[in-house]
A and B are shown apart, each in its own frame.
Chain A
Amino acid sequence: AQSVTQLGSHVSVSEGALVLLRCNYSSSVPPYLFWYVQYPNQGLQLLLKYTSAATLVKGINGFEAEFKKSETSFHLTKPSAHMSDAAEYFCAVSALGGFKTIFGAGTRLFVKA
């Protein structure tokens, strides 16, 4: 069975500071891993995805995530936060080639001026 745990329902950073959003997963088979972002009153859009090609994955808007099998983690980072990064972020795992995707509970990112 698959599961996803996002540590911290809310994260607050200052503009220009490092963003770190944590995600741990469990999967009985090699997983596909995703990060999605949701802006207010919008659907989710893909930030980046891991499909076993490379452990460090670069996404849009300067975000990246590193797959660490030994830690079963897929944390999302961005070196310097911008006000426009304020949104809710979801980590997701799929172990059936994308046919069954499980989402974490989400982390809301606040960016302070």
Chain B
Amino acid sequence: EAQVTQNPRYLITVTGKKLTVTCSQNMNHEYMSWYRQDPGLGLRQIYYSMNVEVTDKGDVPEGYKVSRKEKRNFPLILESPSPNQTSLYFCASSSPLQGRTEAFFGQGTRLTVV
């Protein structure tokens, strides 16, 4: 089954404790991205990657890091989480080069930083 898998689904952590949210897709998509969803603001892009070892900042990259060492994986790293990073996070993938311009989303990770 074609899917984007995020882990964990729910996470509560304390300020300053480094964490990683994993994202994996099995569709051989070249494009992957991370979004955060906050009430009234829709989805805002954090980082994106156009292919292996090619990443770039989205609209709200501060406080986040990413890496793309393999085509299927695109982890999101919070080196020192703060309460303002409490949000719902989504990973998405697509394949514009194959004509698949729509994004396939993971189930989301609800992060709470206390």
Contact = CB atoms under 8 A, between A and B. Distances in A.
Interface of A: 4, 6, 9, 32, 34, 36, 41-46, 49, 51, 90, 94, 96-106
Given A105-B40, A106-B42, A98 B106 contact: no
Contacts of B4: 43
Interface stretch (B12-20, B62-70, B95-103): B95-103
22 contacts: A4-B42, A32-B101, A43-B4, A44-B103, A44-B105, A46-B102, A46-B103, A49-B101, A49-B102, A90-B42, A98-B100, A98-B102, A98-B103, A99-B48, A99-B50, A100-B45, A100-B48, A101-B103, A103-B35, A103-B42, A103-B44, A105-B40
B43 A90 contact: yes
Contacts of B31: 98-99
B2 interface: no
Contacts, number: 60
B41 A97 contact: no
B101 A43 contact: no
B101 A45 contact: no
Report whether over half of chain B's contact residues are helix, strand or loop; otherwise say mixed: strand
Interface in B81-114: 90, 92, 94, 96, 100-103, 105-108
Given A32-B101, A34-B102, 15 more contacts: A9-B40, A43-B105, A43-B106, A49-B101, A90-B43, A94-B101, A97-B101, A98-B31, A98-B103, A100-B45, A101-B45, A102-B45, A103-B42, A105-B40, A105-B41
